[in-house]
Structure 1
Amino acid sequence: MLYCFNFADNINNFYALFLIMNPQKIYILGIESSCDDTSAAILCNGKVLSNVVASQKIHEQYGGVVPELASRAHQQNIVPVIDQAIKQAGITKEDLNAIAFTRGPGLMGSLLVGTSFAKSLALALDIPLIDVNHMQAHILAHFIEEEGYQQPDFPFLAMTISGGHTQIVQVNDHFDMDVIGETIDDAVGEAFDKSAKLLGLPYPGGPLVDKYAQQGNPKAFQFPKPKVGDLNFSFSGLKTAVLYFIQKKVKENPKFIEENLYDICASLQYTIIGILVDKLKKASKQTGIKRIAIGGGVSANSGIRNAMKEGEGKFGWETFIPKFEYTTDNAAMIGIVGYLKYLKGEFTDMSVVAKARIKI
């Protein structure tokens, strides 16, 4: 086969062409430290060989993530987590072809730990360094090679839902993405957790709301859906409505939460899912795109996952839902972005710095 290209083509295209003509095993170490989970993963040509996550339990007693404690825990966890990931993958650090790390967005102290370690290890091993956008990684987690999982074709709509983000993104290619809708205040994950706190549930409360909702009546109580223009979201008003509702009902009956916990959780979750689905329906209609993918920690919610699948029959969607382990913060999603960038020869240098806020 004859390959021709103009000499003016950039070095990235030349590198991609070289890899096509010289297939090899490419090992990528992914490092994720954007919030309170320290994670490391090894990928070989898009397949996950290991994906180790160390969670931080200390934040439970404070009802939320404490940034300073998170960064200190990352310092303690990062070496053993990376060591375990390499051993589970059955390789040595000398086998690595590149190191991918989360540059942002996230907590600055947490990001600094991962960024600094990635830079140091890449320098020591004399291998390329690849910076990764955390939110892009949630979307591109759909391109991890898993047996039996069909990857979405372009273009598709991705809804990223987490404790810090709620976005609708039109994905035209791996690195061609347009945010067409986002929250103007609080994220959906915060709405779940803060509402759960009002119900006396421990942090993180979102998974408990999901658990209890499965045993309750989703139409037992009505909560308002915020009216926000176009494709944007707002959840601050919903949190306030839940607060006033609980205060009123508890004043009338001190045992109201205890007697109605399942129904409250089911009604809250039903309202939130309705908000998300309504926006996706509108986005799909506006763009004409019916391929829908979800990502981010809140996409682990069973009610949301069921609603997405139901959308196939109701709205003609083709839905893509990642494995649970690839929804929450994890290094496998960082690794797949690293692999895709490696194929394009898109590396960064040692001057790269972490950024708490960074757009897709």
Structure 2
Amino acid sequence: MLTPEQIAAAKARLDKARGVPPAGAGSGTAGQPAGRAARSAAGVPPQPPADTGRGPHAKPPTREPISITTWLLVAMILAVIWYLAKPANEQERIDKHVDKAIALMADCKLDAARAEVAAMRAAKATDLQLKKANEAISGAVKNCEMRRQRAKAWTDLTAALESALQSGAVERADARLSAFTRKWGPDDATRDWDKRIDIRKAERLLDEADACLKKSDSTCLETRLVAAEKLQRAEVADRIRSLREALSRLLESTVLEQKSPPALGNEPPRSVPQREVPRETPRETPRPAPPVISTAPQVSQAAAQARKILSDAERELNQGNYKSAMDKAEICATMIDVGNRECLGLKQRAERLNREMLRCVASGADWINDRCQ
């Protein structure tokens, strides 16, 4: 059992925890009126109670007034917050949708542009704004369809051009590319292909010029060099320069050979037989006939060159290089063997096939085996 002292101590701790003052704490309060009366009797003025800040009459601490600078700073901050968080103008937002739809149609993104128009209707756009967006879409649909068709045609043409170059049909590739450019217009891709074809044409002409140089045919060499120079390709400028120098040397050697006197035959000049005349008529002294110089070797040489060029022209014609065949046939008929009927006939045939091929390609069909299909 607990002793009375332990019980009193436990009760005191419990009262302290509850906030109940101890039993002897009220004596001071009760004694205050007596002490105040004694001080009044002695003539001592009463002292104000000490302000502990805990009583019912305690005053809050005083604060300094807010300055005008602080109010202005707060007002500026609120203005910035309102400007950033204010709701956007509805008409400006719809105008942005219109501009976005037009920009999407410029890239042929039709579905995205129509989605923007649907968003404009949901935002209650005006009829003028909807009309502007719809007109932009309607005007761009045709252009987008043409761009799609051009891309498809270019894909098909690229394969045909590669095949033509690999087979050596440079003229056919040039004709098809020219027809495509006339129909759809040029761009960077067509210009690159035009350069490739010109380079191949120049290289082929220079290869033919090398063959002419081996045969010491200055006319053939000059014709090929002029045709190659007209293409104006810097990639073959060195070959053209070297062949020009070779042509100059060939011409110099030809001139020197022409200046040397030709060797005549050892046969004595044949005399003209004398006619029988009457004895009374004096006979004239017979004059020696001039030597007869035969041109049979030159004629046979020209015929051989004509047959060689005609064979080359037929090969170019069978490969579809109609322009090259026309050039070779023209050289054969005008420079090698003037008026050769075979050369003229081949030239006319090549011209006819070239015209038919151009018409066929321009119509969008394919030219295969000298026929439009």
TM-score, normalised relative to structure 2: 0.21
Q: Which structure: larger Rg?
A: 2
Q: Which has the higher contact order (CA 8 A, sep 6+)?
A: 1
TM-score, normalised relative to structure 1: 0.22
Q: Relative to total residues, which structure has the larger strand share, 1 or 2? A: 1
